[in-house]
Amino acid sequence: MAKEQGRKVVASNKKARHDYLIEDTFEAGLVLMGTEVKSLREGRASLIDGYAAWRGDELWLEGVHIPEYVNGNWTNHTPRRRRKLLLHRDELSKIMRKSSETGHTIVPLQLYFKDGRAKVEIAIAKGKKQYDKRHALRERQDTRDTQRALSQARRASGEGR
């Protein structure tokens, strides 16, 4: 059997980029049970309520839902159990320093397989205010309208043919 190559995204947290201002991202490994890996390979996971929290000097992923493996038996895992994140010591100290600042939190952005190993992309983020969210939506809509107007102008002048 050939080793899996590349990056296969299992779940992404699109709402995190809307609700938080992302300051820094890190790639972390996960300590998983066998049935969790099988469930992830089927593409089943949800990062919606996920966050990372400190337990002593270790970083743990909490609130991430990985459903039970369909063909599992009594060895099946608990869907919302706490999972340890694997990072280098210098990365952990950098995350601890930044997350201790007021208003900062650690949120998971993506859960994926990289060369056959389960990884999670976590971010140090600061919560956005409601008016920041509205401003970002307005900017996105304005750029969409501008692109649409440019493409219609190109088609009208005959450049698009």
Maximum alpha-carbon separation in the chain = 67
Three-point CA angle 72, 48, 104, nearest 5°: 130
What are the residue ranges in the chain where pLDDT is below 70? Answer: 1-4, 159-161
Is 13 in contact with 47 (CB distance < 8 Å)? yes
**Distance separating alpha carbons of residues 19 and 15, to the nearest angstrom:** 6
pTM to 2 decimal places: 0.75
pLDDT of residue 161: 53
Can you give the pLDDT at residue 2?
Answer: 55
Predicted confidence at residue 37, as pLDDT, reads 87
What pLDDT is stored for residue 30 in this prediction? Answer: 92
pLDDT score, position 76: 78
Contact 65, 45 (CB under 8 A): yes
Nearest to 122 by CA among 15, 46, 24, 6: 24
The torsion angles phi and psi of 86, rounded to 5 degrees, stand at -105, 115
What pLDDT does 7 receive? 84
pLDDT of residue 130: 78
Per-residue confidence (pLDDT) for residue 159, from 0 to 100: 66
**Consecutive H or E run containing 151:** helix 130-157
> What is the structure's pLDDT at 124?
94
